[in-house]
Amino acid sequence: MFPDGPSTVSSVKKNNQTPYDQLCQEFVGETRSQLSTLTGEIALRNKIVQENDAYVYGDFLKRSLHVEAGHDFTPVNWLRRVCEIHRTQTMGDGFIVNSSYHGVDVDSAFDPDAKPQLDLINNKKKSYAEGRNKLFQAIMRDNGGEALFARMVENASAVGNSVLKAYYDEDQGKYCLDMVEAVEHFYAVWNQDNFREFDFTGYVYQISKQQAVDQFEVDPDVATSPLGMPLAVLSSANTVSYISTQPMVTVMEINGRVQGWRSSDGVLERCNVGE
């Protein structure tokens, strides 16, 4: 009855957008594009993660074995025991956190009168290092101590990866350390080919439109992506290539330096690459 309704509403909302709203949309789009370059790498990693998880914690091993007649089948999955052994071998003796500092060589000072000042500088650096060490020890105690890292070791032994998320929770009033349970959602835009250093990381996952409205108070007409493809855009033009056409909302948690963007006093800005 009202064929022009949706386009009219969309036009009104677009006209009500501020320049900063449009800038934020551009940031989301460009970040999404940069993460999309990792699609092949992420797909290969996630395939390995899912297969290993099915072997170790699921029943894929049992279903893939052919036990001939006359032979017994043990109900014990020794692959899981292997992961537990790896955890024990790695974390059996625990670990010690040290905070170091680069002190000034007092004896090399040419001016004897400068030695007291250099001693003061060294003592200050030592005090800061001890404070950092105590702070991290307290953070570890608040987050389960070495048990957290033992779980990460076992998880990495099973599926090949473990990711630690560190953040300050304002509601709890403490610094939190959490193991990312679904490592499949973790993305890293590398800045070295050693796959250890990155420009920024992203935790990308999908939720339903209803949950997005409830949790983030977004508009009901928020952009959606097909289930299982968080970086794709749901379109009626190519539904054949989708695993599922259920519309989901993609959530991206970004940490690091996104090429061409920066934050100044909490305000998003464009910048030259490298700034």
Q: What is the pLDDT of residue 4?
A: 39
**Each residue's pLDDT expressed in tens, for the chain with a length of 275 residues:** 334 344 444 444 555 789 999 999 999 999 999 999 998 899 999 999 999 999 898 888 888 877 777 777 677 788 888 999 999 999 988 888 889 888 888 777 677 777 888 888 989 999 999 999 999 999 999 999 999 999 999 999 999 889 999 989 998 899 999 999 889 999 999 998 888 899 999 999 999 999 999 999 998 888 898 888 898 876 555 544 556 778 999 999 999 999 999 998 889 999 998 87
User: Residue 135 falls within a domain, yes or no?
Assistant: yes
Residue 192 domain boundaries:
16-270
Q: What is the pLDDT of residue 235?
A: 55
User: Residue 7 falls within a domain, yes or no?
Assistant: no
Q: What is the CA radius of gyration of the chain?
A: 26
| Element of type H or E holding 104 | none
Determine the Cα–Cα distance for residues 52 and 86; give it in Å rounded to an integer: 15
Bridge pairing between strands 225-226 and 261-264: unpaired
Determine the Cα–Cα distance for residues 134 and 207; give it in Å rounded to an integer: 39
Please tell me the total count of domains within the chain.
1
User: Residue 9 falls within a domain, yes or no?
Assistant: no
Determine the Cα–Cα distance for residues 155 and 84; give it in Å rounded to an integer: 9
Q: What is the pLDDT of residue 252?
A: 94
Length, in residues, of the chain = 275
Are the C-beta atoms of 146 and 140 separated by less than 8 Å?
yes
Q: What is the pLDDT of residue 223?
A: 87
pTM for the structure as a whole: 0.74
SS3 6: helix
User: Residue 63 falls within a domain, yes or no?
Assistant: yes
CA distances from 33 to 30, 37, 198, 259, 275 (A): 5, 7, 16, 11, 20
User: Residue 1 falls within a domain, yes or no?
Assistant: no
Checking 77-85 for CB contacts under 8 A at 24+ apart, the result is 79/55, 80/56, 80/158, 82/157, 83/56, 83/154, 83/157, 83/158, 84/154
User: Residue 5 falls within a domain, yes or no?
Assistant: no
User: Residue 6 falls within a domain, yes or no?
Assistant: no
Determine the Cα–Cα distance for residues 41 and 180; give it in Å rounded to an integer: 19
User: Residue 3 falls within a domain, yes or no?
Assistant: no
